[in-house]
């Protein structure tokens, strides 16, 4: 109503009939303020967010947006390595690990510990999936054996107790991926059980431990040179921002239809409650589908 | 082919021809609508309830600092009169018919049926929140797809 009565009607008439009722500066300001407040209400914000300058937007999020909005003019790279299944999620959030939080080193070169602050996920939203994306690089210029296929195993552990210097950490394995380093690509690891636990109990978030294990049959001298877990001194900040590990969470606030993206099922004792929620959502989805079918008939 | 098969083929061909014809007509109607936007109706033509173009530009409210994509979107809006008799495509509720009819007999207390969105679709938005987190969210009911009287 606001839009039609003030701002757009007048601007539209300007374009079409050539007899515009001129808007005063005050009217314009009022119209813009009205437009802003109505849009904020539509988007569910109490006030407009003011992010700090220099926020890095992960390429993966841009690609997901392009895929979602059906932008077919530009080719979408094959970065979607995760298997997809059906579970509603209308919000995707991305997190970089916190550099300020220094966890004790693993002691070996093929391991890294990182910590993500997931407290920004609203409690009202249901977490349907979480993935950790890690960049695996094959630098052909520095490697003599270009044709040689390198195979590693990427393991991700959830650290169960705070890591101390002397004692070994207590951790549980969440996901394993076999990686073949032929070309540079992204590897996706399922960290849903851990993130779900952190979301419900933020105090139990002690971080993740990622280990790169050389394959038995294909031992490599230093697998970590291919897997981007830590920033190397020679790597520029801009390059690191592109290659650094990325945590992506998929949530559903129950308000809007789901994004055309899905979840891989995970079996964990911790996520029973969430699984119930997911089941409920799935049930309502099937009901909706049935209704739609009936309507069509 | 002769016989039953031939009959079937001819029938199918006829159906296909008709479908093509209908498609062409639909396209023509759409183009006509585009060529005659609101406010430019010829005299004698009623300003009937239908979807009107409306582009929401986030630049207007200076939101480009937190919305990464899109920079704006075609929201559309509904506007126009709901005269009696209401055509089938505009009549979304039977109440709209009664309302328009009563309004027509000079009963001022009965408001005329409103031209409102009947079908809406969603948009995806990529933005940064106040914690500097990048979020991709799907918002329902943001684009008007169809209008009707209610």
CB pairs under 8 A between A and B: 112
**Chain A interface test: which of B76, B133, B139 (most A C-beta within 10 Å):** B133
pLDDT tens, B34-78?
Answer: 545 544 444 445 688 999 998 888 887 788 888 998 999 898 999
Phi-psi region of A228 (alpha: psi -120 to 50; beta: other; left: phi over 0): beta
Using 50, 70 and 90 to split pLDDT, how confident is the model at B147? very high
DSSP-based three-state secondary structure for A252: strand
Task: Report the alpha-carbon distance of residue A224 to residue A150 in Å, rounded.
Answer: 12
Q: What is the longest distance spanned by two Cα atoms in chain B?
A: 75
**B129 vs A: CB within 8 A:** yes
Task: Report the alpha-carbon distance of residue B145 to residue B122 in Å, rounded.
Answer: 10
In sequence order, which residues have a C-beta less than 8 Å from that of residue A235 and are 6 or more positions away? A243
Structural tokens at position A102: 């220094």
**Chain A interface test: which of B134, B140, B144, B147 (most A C-beta within 10 Å):** B134
pLDDT tens, A25-66?
Answer: 888 788 778 878 888 887 778 888 888 888 899 999 998 898
Question: By C-alpha distance, which of A213, A209, A234 is closest to A222?
Answer: A213
Q: ipTM beyond 0.90?
A: no
Task: Report the alpha-carbon distance of residue B5 to residue A280 in Å, rounded.
Answer: 51
- The answer to whether the Cβ–Cβ distance between B124 and A68 falls below 8 Å is yes
Mean pLDDT of the A163-179 span: 81
- The answer to whether the Cβ–Cβ distance between B134 and A61 falls below 8 Å is yes
Range scoring the smallest mean pLDDT among A182-191, A194-203, B124-133: A182-191
């Amino acid at each position: 109503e606001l839009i039609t009565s003030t701002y757009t009607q007048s601007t539209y008439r300007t374009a079409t009939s050539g007899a515009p009722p001129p808007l005063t500066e005050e009217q314009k300001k009022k119209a813009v303020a009205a437009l802003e407040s109505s849009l904020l209400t539509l988007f569910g914000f109490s006030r407009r967010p003011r992010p700090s300058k220099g926020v890095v937007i992960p390429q993966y999020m841009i690609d997901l947006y392009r895929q979602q909005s059906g932008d077919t003019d530009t080719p979408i790279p094959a970065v979607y390595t995760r298997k997809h299944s059906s579970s509603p999620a209308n919000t995707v959030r991305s997190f970089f690990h916190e550099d300020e939080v220094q966890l004790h080193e693993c002691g070996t070169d093929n391991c890294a510990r990182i910590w993500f602050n997931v407290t920004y996920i609203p409690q009202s939203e249901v977490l349907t999936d979480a993935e950790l994306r890690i960049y695996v690089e094959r630098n052909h210029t520095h490697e003599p054996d270009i044709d040689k296929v390198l195979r590693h195993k990427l393991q991700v552990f959830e650290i169960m107790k705070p890591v101390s210097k002397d004692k070994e950490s207590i951790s549980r394995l969440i996901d394993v991926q076999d990686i073949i380093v032929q070309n540079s690509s992204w590897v996706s690891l399922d960290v849903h059980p851990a993130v779900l636990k952190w979301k419900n109990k933020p105090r139990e978030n002690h971080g993740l431990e990622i280990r790169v294990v050389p394959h038995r049959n294909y031992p490599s001298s230093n697998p970590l040179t291919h897997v981007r877990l830590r920033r190397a001194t020679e790597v520029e900040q801009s390059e690191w921002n592109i290659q650094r590990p990325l945590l992506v969470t998929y949530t559903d606030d129950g308000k809007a239809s789901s994004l055309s993206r899905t979840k891989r099922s995970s079996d964990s004792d911790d996520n029973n409650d969430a699984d119930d929620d997911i089941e409920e959502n799935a049930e309502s989805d099937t009901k909706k589908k049935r209704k739609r079918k009936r309507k069509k008939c | 082919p002769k016989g039953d098969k031939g009959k079937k083929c001819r029938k199918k061909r006829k159906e296909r021809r008709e479908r093509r014809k209908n498609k062409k007509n639909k396209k023509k109607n759409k183009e006509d609508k585009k060529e005659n936007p609101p406010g430019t109706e010829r005299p004698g033509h009623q300003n009937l309830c239908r979807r009107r173009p409306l582009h929401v530009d986030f630049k207007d409210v200076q939101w480009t600092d937190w919305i990464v994509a899109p920079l704006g979107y075609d929201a559309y809006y509904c506007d126009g009169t709901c005269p009696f008799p209401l055509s089938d495509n505009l009549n979304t509720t039977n109440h709209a018919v009664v309302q328009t009819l009563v309004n027509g007999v000079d009963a001022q207390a009965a408001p005329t049926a409103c031209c409102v969105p009947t079908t809406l679709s969603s948009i995806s938005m990529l933005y940064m929140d106040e914690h500097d987190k990048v979020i991709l969210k799907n918002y329902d009911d943001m684009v008007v797809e169809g209008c009707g009287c209610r």
